[in-house]
Amino acid sequence: MMLIPCPCCGPRNQTEFTYGGDASVKRPASDAPEAEWFAFVYLRDNPSGWHEELWLHSAGCRSWFKLRRNTRTHEIADSAALHQANPKQGAEP
C-alpha cells in the first residue's frame, strides 16, 4: 500500500487516487506542427528515479495536484496543489 499526501486532505490510501500522467509535459501552441502534437499526446518517457506527476484525489476532494515520486522506490518527496508553487524540480529530497 502507498500513502499519497493530498494537499487538501493529508495522507490517504492510493486506492482513492487516479494517476494523471507526467506533470512536466507542456502543451504545444495551437498552431504547432503535427509532430509536436503527436509527441504531446502519445510520447512519454519512462523515467527511473524522481518524477513529477499529476494525481487526482478521485474518491476524496476531487482536486488535481502534483507530486514528486521516486519510480524505483515509490517514495514521495512532496506534493502541491496546482495553483501553488511546483514541487521542487530536479532536486533530490
Contact residues for Zn ion, defined by CB under 5 A: 6, 8-9, 57, 60-61
CB of 54 to Zn ion, least distance (A): 14
SS3 labels along the chain: CCEEEECCCEEEEHHHCEEEEECCCCCCCCCCCHHHHHHHHHCCCCCCCEEEEEEECCCCCCCEEEEEEECCCCCEEEEEECCCCCCCCCCCC
Q: Which is nearer to Zn ion, 20 or 60 (CB)?
A: 60
CB of 78 to Zn ion, least distance (A): 15
CB of 20 to Zn ion, least distance (A): 14
Q: Which is nearer to Zn ion, 20 or 28 (CB)?
A: 20
SS3 61: coil
Q: Which is nearer to Zn ion, 5 or 28 (CB)?
A: 5
